[in-house]
Amino acid sequence: MTDPRVLSQQLLDRLAGSGELTPVWSEAFAAVPRHQFIPDMIWTTHDAELVPLRRAENPQEWMQRVYGPAAVTVQVDDGHPLVPGRRGRYITSSASQPNVVVRMLDALDAQPGMRVLEIGTGTGYNAALLAHRLGGENVTSVEIDRDLAEHARRALATSGYPLAVITADGTRGYPPHAPYDRIMSTAAVQHVPYPWIAQTRPGGKILTPWGTHYHNGALVSFIVNRDGTAQGRIVGNVAFMFLRDQRIYASVDDEECDETTARKSQTTVTPYSVVGDYDASLAIGMKVPGCSVIVVPDPTVELTGTLWFVDPDTDSWANMHYQPHTCVYPIHQSGPRNLWDEVETAYHWWRQVGCPGPERWQIMITPEGQQVTLTETSALATTEWSIDPMSAVGPDHRDR
């Protein structure tokens, strides 16, 4: 089946059937043809590498993926595949899962007549949805990658949405069209660029994926105050690629990590507790800045592998080997930081304060920086513990 009209209707039916497609956005999703925004060459995963899938060679699979429930990879390695044979290593741009697009547009709460700045044009599909409801004259989109920006301009013009697509660094916003009622980022941040706050009207909203070295998976909605600050809260669970200048470069080479000279200990804290539990992982990321976690499963033995905790800035690492039916896990640590000890301490702290969920965290942005605070059940009352998660973070490192 390659008829885009049929596949588009199936997509709409899935979103409506799950209750995710609200009446507010159903008309836009029905009107904007998703396939017109996806490049003729996309990328799929094969043997842990990203390989091209060309529309001309396999139109049926291409169309099925475009209208399927998963994200569609449209660029690897910033447009220059790093693996010989034009195979990719890292995903650097994608068309988001349709249900994530719906959730974010709902959370943005953009009303007709509002001016919106989108950070990260990508394919242009999200910008077209905004333009259909708000009018193209009210939407500005910024894309740092020249090739992606040019593709989006062509797709938007062809589809009847010739809005302003600016090739620029999105961390600076776009002052010529400010102030905005809404700013929406389709890339994750560790710290919110202050120009976004400065270019948003008081009472306006900024919506962005947000994360730490340890945890990438929070959608944060900020309200901009008259005093030039912004107060944010987590409103959803989404994982996006970070802005280019905030990427996290973290990798592990087990041949260079000598366990024979590492500090040895053991723990009864399970791997799931510190990695698989969303609430715990979120808290650990707040408490242990600069620490990335990498899961390396054993391909030969099910449910067996190694958790790595790494801080490239200090050449510190720790690992935990895990396997089924185990109650005690061996730990190795090396470098000036005892990363596992920090992670375990943060996990126990999270439990001691009542296992707070994402609704308990508040993020405040000021001209001086960013502060993350754990609140009581009332969003107005705070505990005495808070931290700037960027205070101990050095150069950016990428986790993809």
The answer to whether domain 4-186 has CATH 3.40.50.150 is yes
Cα gap 395→98, rounded to integer Å: 33
Rounded distance between C-alpha atoms, residue 343 and residue 284, angstroms:
6
Cα(346)–Cα(97) distance, rounded to whole angstroms?
32
- Chain centroid to CA 264: how far? 34
Provide the residue-wise pLDDT of the chain in tens; the chain has 400 residues.
679 999 999 999 999 999 999 999 999 999 999 999 999 999 999 988 999 999 999 999 999 999 999 999 999 999 999 999 889 999 999 999 999 999 999 999 999 999 999 999 999 999 999 999 999 999 999 999 999 999 999 999 999 999 999 999 999 999 999 999 999 999 999 999 999 999 999 999 999 999 999 999 999 999 999 999 999 999 999 999 999 999 998 888 877 789 999 999 999 999 999 999 999 999 999 999 999 999 999 989 999 999 999 999 999 999 999 999 999 999 999 999 999 999 999 999 999 999 999 999 999 999 999 999 999 864 433 333 333 333 332 333 223 2
Asked if 339 and 333 touch (Cβ cutoff 8 Å), the reply is yes
CA angle 114, 184, 209 (to 5 degrees): 155
SS (H, E, C) 203-225: EEEEEEEEECCCCEEEEEEEEEC
What's this model's pTM, rounded to 2 decimal places?
0.91
Where b means 16+ CB within 10 Å and e means fewer, 31-44 reads ebbbbbbbbeebbe
Report strand pairing: 164-167 vs 139-143: parallel
Domain ranges of the chain: 4-186, 248-400
d(CA 118, CA 201): 15
Residue 96 is among the residues annotated as catalytic for this protein: yes
Residue 169 CB contacts under 8 Å (≥ 6 apart), including other chains: 142, 144, 245
Of 96, 159, 292, 334, the active-site residue reads 96
CB atoms within 10 A of CB 348: 11
Q: What are phi and psi of 340, to 5 degrees?
A: -65, -40
